[in-house]
Homo-oligomer: A and B are copies of this chain.
């Protein structure tokens, strides 16, 4: 029968965020709904120069087929850097992917049969949830408090779901909540993964964007037992349009992931990999990151200070120490979807929290706000509109 899609994708829907972003095609709408890096964070002049260098020095290498594993020099740089950081262990390997999203998708493809379980933070990043759904996986969400996943609930979920293949987590400045998992919780999560014989897929797109507080050790660094598959990305620290990310973990798993990637994209755009390598080895990367952190620290402060001044006290707000998102939660008596709908009619776009739920039909009282994409002027104006809407609607 034509038009009969596979079971695994039949009910797969476009990301709810994309539907909201349609409103933002209207240039008068202020979007707090996206997740794009700030355009001023792109080192455009340096990239233009490095790209010209590539075409002057090795144009054929930048245009010919390459190997699935990734550009060797970039993989070597990553291996050295991640070894220094205690992340790359003996017996590990790295494969370059077309964004961390492809790394995440590939873990589901190679590890999960239809009906298997992936345990995730609830709420969690919609792109990953949809990638998991696209393999017919059952998602089991574990609620979070301000320290991350609640460990008793995680253990209960692991006990109740013996076909669990991995725990998916964004421990730093999580998307959508902005929450950071504490060191204690990371250690506990790793112990539970070992106890129940499951992987942890640690997704860390924002880790380098900490603008306050102290770094918390990555779970990959804590792990000496090959239980962690680590997804890294250059989207937030260089540019997302390049689509360069990577998967780090047990060499046997990386080998299988590589075979999977060979049947998909064959390899990641090679110019983008060469450009990333040249960027990492040409510029002062730490200084570049410091500049990004300054941008996001200022934008986050601007939005958060504004929200605290404008919104009623009963709206809970997270205070992220990095990343791109603030998470707001209404008291249960209010209807979050009605609030978001009213607000978008007033020309500010938020993302309703249920977009990030493991169970999309669950009721959510939360909404996600992004501070990296809007200009400072848009942040100030958007926050004012939000405040006025809240005062008028939430009575």
Contacts and interface: CB of A to CB of B under 8 A. Distances in A.
A252 interface: yes
B98 A269 contact: yes
A259 B39 contact: no
A243 B263 contact: no
A62 B44 CA distance: 10
A375 to B, nearest CB: 13
A116 B127 CA distance: 27
Q: What 9 A-B pairs have minimum CB-CB distances, sorted nearest first?
A: A48-B55, A63-B239, A44-B59, A269-B269, A131-B263, A241-B270, A98-B265, A63-B241, A65-B240
B9 A110 contact: yes
Interface in A126-157: 127, 130-131, 133-135
A271 interface: yes
Interface residues of A, number: 82
A181 B102 CA distance: 35
B241 A62 contact: yes
12 contacts: A5-B110, A18-B262, A42-B64, A52-B52, A64-B241, A98-B98, A98-B268, A102-B264, A127-B266, A131-B264, A134-B264, A241-B271
B2 A262 contact: no
A272 interface: yes
A26 to B, nearest CB: 16
Nearest to A62: B241
Given A99-B265, A272-B269, A47 B59 contact: yes
Contacts of A122: none
A241 B14 contact: no
A260 B264 CA distance: 12
Interface string A104-131: 0100011111101000000000010011
Contacts of A52: 48, 51-52
Nearest to A63: B239
A271 B242 contact: yes
Interface in A179-227: 197-199, 226-227
A374 to B, nearest CB: 14
B240 A63 contact: yes
A111 B10 CA distance: 9
A109 B6 contact: yes
Given A60-B44, A98-B265, A265-B99, A9 B131 contact: no
A89 to B, nearest CB: 15
A98 B44 CA distance: 24
Interface in A235-260: 235, 239-243, 250, 252-253, 256, 258-260
Interface in A5-55: 5-9, 12-15, 18, 34-37, 39, 42, 44, 47-48, 51-52, 55
A15 B256 CA distance: 12
Nearest to A12: B259
Nearest to A9: B110
Contact of A63 (B44, B62, B63): B44
Contact of A9 (B55, B240, B259): B259
Given A52-B52, A252-B3, A270-B241, A109 B127 contact: no
Contacts of A111: 4-6
A98 B263 CA distance: 11
Q: Which of A127, A243, A262, A263 has the most CB of B within 10 A?
A: A263
A128 to B, nearest CB: 8
